[in-house]
Amino acid sequence: MGKETMSGISGGGYQEAWRRSISSPEDFWLEAAAGIDWVVPPTSALAVDGKATGSWFPGGTLNTSFNALDRHVLAGRGAHTALIYDSAMTGTRVQLSYLDLLGRVAKFAGALRATGVGTGDRVIIYLPMIPEAVVAMLACARIGAVHSVVFGGFAATELAVRIDDARPSVIVTASGGLEPGRTVEYLPLVEKALTLSQGSVHTVIVRNRDSIPGSAANYQDRPDTDAVWLDWADEEAKATPAAPVALHSDDPLYILYTSGTTGKPKGIIRDNGGHAVALNWSMRNVYNVGPGDVYWAASDVGWVVGHSYIVYAPLLAGATTVLYEGKPIGTPDAGAFWRVVDDYKVKVLFTAPTAIRAIRRVDPDLLELEQHDVSSLTSLFLAGERLDPETFHWANNGLHCPVIDHWWQTETGWAICANLLGIEELPTKPGSATVPVPGYDVAILDSAGRPIEKIGTDGNIAIRLPLPPGTLLGVWGSEERFASSYLTAFPGYYATGDSGHFDADGYLFVMGRTDDVINVAGHRLSTGSLEEVLTLHPAVAECAVLGVHDPVKGQRAAGFVTLKAGSRVDHTVLTAELVALVREHVGPVAAFRDVTILDRLPKTRSGKILRKTIRQIVDGEEYLVPPTIEDPTVLDDLKRALSASVS
């Protein structure tokens, strides 16, 4: 991002911070590193050492678990609440102080060590949203083990793929997880995954949940697996607490799998030092959260948001983090989020736009909000999917607190662009993730890798190397895959895979994935722009626009929409009105005429719309049901809706 694109930003706090992070990264990040307790403090911020992305804080040693727990206890804050567990599924509510959580983490770290787990060994964590998920992650960090959290309930075949890639020695799991109206038993899935994998796992530790059948004892004598099955409670009770071990800054903290274009998931590696520094810095400067504040990331520990902002960042900052087992609607109603904010006086809520759209669809007038006091809420941060302007306005007007769209990826681990409330709150612009966060030098490139100088022109969003601390260290087991996935498309840059543009004030508008740009008879159209138009209709709750095959134009835009609760509109009339909206706002060049009305859009469990799968079904291509899908039956509903529209 050139200086020209920043000239319209008012105030000096943000501009000064960003420019200093780019022009003097050594000074900037060494100062940030002082916010972390080191065993051996680093004397320099960045070493390139032949690596395209460099190594942050070389020579420094630390322990992430110590920084998240021990140092707060040693500072006299042991009695302060570290973790609030709220299960809308069971009605369970538990609060753990920093001293309580430290005791449990140290004991479970000792239990892992008793199974032979040591520094550098991998541990797969396959747990629901229960406190043991947080305990297991921090226990691995305490002894230098590398954790790999797999979303609880993932199919056995997908779990087996991750086992064979990470080669863990231990799996930590539970008897099962809870979804609205059903339970998911985990142990049969783990057993099957072990039979499909190549045999690296020698121990399975099971946390028995009273409401879900299944225990380690049930699987102890199964001949199909060689693993020893142990009971969590027994192992924790008899364990000797483990002390934190000193790790090098660039030692891996965790592996987190994200989808890959080859069908094989990519294991993103996060380091210890850069990760701790960046996340600690982000809590104060991006979210304006510090010790004693209650922070709630309404996500799942299986996703990057859960790693960064349920577990690590709030605890590094000495805040109180909320672990919520439930949904934004249906557990029991569309007021679930507002109830949690009210009960625990949440200062900052971070969730996905799809969660807010789900609430809007069921409760468009925010009647449930009126039942709760949410005056503690100072900001709502959204990420994971593009925040359409209509949803932004609805949330902003209804909550009467800043609604902040910010943009980041599994690979980056924290925000690339945001409104940095702890430095300088900038005016918001609907549809924009605001401005690059200090440390990120963002550019818009054409297909040849040349900077696009024209303001407002969409291109490939890329980040000049080196990336800031806290971003990916690489791809597990494959330097070549790391390079080919992110570094070779535009030499000297990290390719985000997203498209968008800067406006004259330096605000970034992320319009979608680069493969979401469609070509209609030679005209390139952003699906994000078309989606913005469709959500202008008062009956539309949410939508997806994608390019489907057209024998004449190459591609044509097709819209898939869901309606707000209580909407009474003739589908033929609605289609005509949506086509007219696109013609008015985009023009006839869009050639938009296809609208399919659905009860639900196919989504991942993290709320991302499965656009590729929808397109494959529409085009009649073979497809695989994504392992991350929230409910596979929605694909059958989609097929029926498409058949009805054809007939």
SS3 104: helix
Q: Which has more pLDDT, 37 or 637?
A: 37
pLDDT at 540: 93
- The answer to whether position 314 is within a domain reads yes
Query: 331 and 235 share a domain?
Result: no
pLDDT at 597: 92
CATH code where residue 591 lies: 3.30.300.30
* Residue environment code for 481-511, b if the CB has 16+ CB neighbours within 10 A, otherwise e: bbeebbbebbeebbbbbbbbbbeebbbbbbb
pLDDT at 612: 83
H/E stretch holding 581: helix 571-585
Query: 277 and 421 share a domain?
Result: yes
Query: 293 and 355 share a domain?
Result: yes
Query: 329 and 408 share a domain?
Result: yes
- The answer to whether position 551 is within a domain reads yes
Cβ neighbours, 10 Å, residue 345: 14
Question: Given 380, 407, 425, which residue is the final one in a domain?
Answer: 425
* Closest CA relative to residue 418, chosen from 395, 399, 434: 434
Distances (CA, A) of 30 to 39, 45, 46, 204, 213: 15, 6, 9, 41, 50
Average pLDDT over residues 357-365: 92
Query: 225 and 110 share a domain?
Result: yes
pLDDT at 513: 73
- Residue 123: give the domain boundaries: 104-248
Residue 391 has pLDDT above 70, yes or no: yes
Query: 317 and 227 share a domain?
Result: no
Residue 11 has pLDDT above 50, yes or no: no
Count of positions (residues) in the chain: 647
- The answer to whether position 498 is within a domain reads no
pLDDT at 9: 43
Residue 29 has pLDDT above 50, yes or no: yes
pLDDT in tens, 444-481: 999 999 999 899 999 999 999 999 999 999 999 988 89
Residue type, 622: E
Residue 64 has pLDDT above 80, yes or no: yes
Query: 233 and 323 share a domain?
Result: no
Residue 387 has pLDDT above 90, yes or no: no
- The answer to whether position 48 is within a domain reads no
Query: 240 and 325 share a domain?
Result: no
Residue 253 has pLDDT above 60, yes or no: yes
Instruction: Write the DSSP symbol of residue 369.
Output: G
pLDDT in tens, 582-624: 888 877 767 788 899 999 999 887 678 888 889 889 888 888 8
- The answer to whether position 504 is within a domain reads no
User: 551 burial class (0-12, 13-18, 19+ CB within 10 angstroms)?
Assistant: exposed
Query: 195 and 239 share a domain?
Result: yes
H/E stretch holding 5: helix 3-6
Question: Given 396, 425, 454, which residue is the final one in a domain?
Answer: 425
- The answer to whether position 47 is within a domain reads no
Average pLDDT over residues 55-64: 97
Query: Please, what is the angle between helix 353-362 and helix 389-399, to 10°?
Result: 70
Residue 223 has pLDDT above 90, yes or no: no
pLDDT at 27: 97
Q: Is 76 left (phi over 0), alpha (psi -120 to 50) or beta?
A: left
CATH code where residue 211 lies: 3.40.50.980
Identify the bridge partners of residue 467 per DSSP, sorted by sequence position. none
Q: How many domains does the chain have?
A: 3
pLDDT in tens, 552-575: 667 788 999 999 988 889 999 999
Mean pLDDT, the chain, as a whole number?
A: 91
Query: 240 and 282 share a domain?
Result: no
Average pLDDT over residues 185-207: 95
pLDDT in tens, 119-172: 999 999 999 999 999 999 999 999 999 999 998 988 888 899 999 999 999 999
Q: Which has more pLDDT, 462 or 210?
A: 462
Query: 243 and 293 share a domain?
Result: no
For the chain, give me the number of helices (H) and strands (E)?
22, 32
Residues of the chain above pLDDT 90, percent:
72
pLDDT in tens, 266-321: 999 999 999 999 999 999 999 999 999 999 999 999 999 999 999 999 999 999 99
Query: 192 and 321 share a domain?
Result: no
User: Does the N-terminal peptide bond of residue 41 adopt cis geometry, omega within 30 degrees of 0?
Assistant: no
- The answer to whether position 540 is within a domain reads yes
Distances (CA, A) of 263 to 108, 431, 454, 605, 623: 35, 31, 36, 18, 11
pTM: 0.85
Residue 525 has pLDDT above 80, yes or no: no
Residue 10 has pLDDT above 50, yes or no: no
| 7 band by pLDDT with thresholds 50, 70 and 90 | very low
Question: Given 204, 233, 248, which residue is the final one in a domain?
Answer: 248
Average pLDDT over residues 516-527: 66
Average pLDDT over residues 489-500: 94
* Rounded Cα gap, residues 135 and 222, in angstroms: 28
435 close to 426: Cβ distance less than 8 angstroms:
yes
Tokens of 605: 């469990």
pLDDT at 5: 38
- The answer to whether position 264 is within a domain reads no
Q: Which of 43-57, 58-72, 616-630 has the highest mean pLDDT?
A: 58-72
